[in-house]
Amino acid sequence: MPEQDMSVDDALSDFTIREITLENLTKRVYVAGSGPGVLVMTEMPGISPHVARFSRWVRDAGFTVYMPSLFGRDGAVASADEGGQVFRKACVSAEFRAFAADESSPVTVWLRALARLAHEECGGPGVGAIGMCFTGNFALTMMLEPAMLAPVLSQPTLPLNDPAGLHIAPDELAAVRDRLEREDLTVLAYRFAGDKFCRAQRFAAYEQALGERFIGRVLPDEAANTDTAPFFSVHVASPHSVVTAHLIDEAGQPTIAARDEILAFFRQRLTADA
């Protein structure tokens, strides 16, 4: 993949823009690639060049990427003020219940439908998904969709006011746990050790809820990129975004190892010849 300047807006010109209506709700989705489907759900404050870069890595690994626009300006390097406004708007949106423990965000119903559509369009054993930050837990709730086989939780941040809270309804969590056991599936998750938004208590709660089906990776803080966009330098005062803003794109870096493990996880679960 050609070197990109992460400090300027990304035109996303190598993605096909689709307006997809599911569950009586229409959202813009950026699609690229071929092969089994993988949903990439953006972190705050939207589909940044870093999020798009990760989607291209998934595409280039042999998958069809579906990248829904959930908030913010698509492709933008948001200023600190703009990013803060996007965050505050999402916190009061009916689609996201940012402060709710033991409750799933309503938008996950639409995302499950998108996973189902991706499987219908792309074929293969099933689809994968990765959520990041604000969307970090969504891939777990999406396991209620039978087509979902490979869930990845990157720095899951919700609920914002409860470090040990799980942003999923108890009955849904029980159903997901039963499915993981029944189908011998696992959940991959990532965080930095000093992340102030996704703390150790949250991973401990996942481990208690899912047992050995939850595979949590904790990266050292010194593995995080310190050269970040304005939103992160002002509003995110700790290492946070494992495969996007805080990733160091150099061979041998722990964040690159995390990226490669995620791609291998998708390959293992979603390709028949893995």
Edge-to-edge order in the sheet of strand 64-68: 16-22, 25-33, 64-68, 37-40, 127-132, 148-154, 187-192, 214-219
**Predicted local confidence at residue 274, as pLDDT:** 47
In the chain, helix, strand, coil percent, each to 5? 40, 20, 45
**What residue type is 186 in one-letter code?**
T
The predicted model scores a pTM of 0.97
Q: Going residue by residue through the chain, which has 274 residues, state the pLDDT in tens, using 9 for 90 and above.
A: 667 889 999 999 999 999 999 999 999 999 999 999 999 999 999 999 999 999 999 999 999 999 999 999 999 999 999 999 999 999 999 999 899 888 999 999 999 999 999 999 999 999 999 999 999 999 999 999 999 999 999 999 999 999 999 999 999 999 999 999 999 999 999 999 999 999 999 999 999 999 999 999 999 999 999 999 999 999 998 999 999 999 999 999 999 999 999 999 999 999 975 4
Its sign, for the CA torsion 65, 108, 115, 192, is: positive
